[in-house]
Amino acid sequence: MPYLILILVLILLVFGPQWWAQYTFRRYAKPLTRIPGSGAELARHLLDRFEMQTVGVEKTEVGNDHYDPQSRTVRLSPQNHDQNSLTAVAVAAHEVGHAIQHQRGEALLSVRTRLVQFASAAQKFGAAALVVMPIAAVLTRAPSVGLLLLVAGVGSMFLATLVHLVTLPVELDASFNKALPILRSGYINQKDEAVVRRILRAAAFTYLAGSLASLLNLWRWLAILRR
């Protein structure tokens, strides 16, 4: 029984933030006539307002809503791109918040971008090391080689997860220091502010949710190696 409880707690910790964020987005995704434009239209308007005409707005069919600093593009999921819901405008403003960080050359976003690139490379290296480990151990007949690859693989994947966690301040800044003040300046009704805060919190913690979910991938590899 204690083992089962531990598994349930771990599942809740890993998937809880992700479930909560997705639930929040879906809950407030209903189109509202009092919102005059779609997420894409608001994003375009805000980018022009902050003199970022060279930043594009695209609909993305794959992946989540995000700002791509390499191509200088705000990418929105189909629902948030096309609809005039509280979720759509809040998420659009959050991603524009990242574009503002980029335009101003804020150090946090620059560090986050480099860390994310490093995290992606680290995860690929970790997965490759874990695959090669048993083969290398057999070919070299040296347990130390296999152990070294195991430590390198597990360590790099765990480090990648940690890197995602430390970028959370960038997300909170985009939500509450950028998007919320903008939306409060005349883009949402006062009665909607509490809901928008929830959505922006979910947008900020989506990154955390993805990071925690990546821990499950690490656990799966460890479970496979123990067999």
Give the catalytic positions in this structure.
Answer: 95
Three-class SS of 126-142: HHHHHHHHHHHHHHHCC
User: Which residue matches tokens 């480090």?
Assistant: 159
User: Which residue matches tokens 């430390």?
Assistant: 166
Please give the structure tokens belonging to residue 123: 């995860």
- Report the DSSP beta bridge partners of residue 59: 76
Backbone angles phi, psi at 140, to 5 degrees: -90, -15
Give the distance from CA 75 to its chain's centroid.
13
Tell me the C-alpha distance between 225 and 132, whole Å.
Answer: 12
Contacts of 154 (CB under 8 A, 6+ apart): 126, 130, 218, 221, 222
Neighbours of 136 (CB within 10 A): 15
User: Which residue matches tokens 């779609």?
Assistant: 38
Tell me the C-alpha distance between 81 and 168, whole Å.
Answer: 24
Please give the structure tokens belonging to residue 223: 């479970």
Neighbours of 131 (CB within 10 A): 13
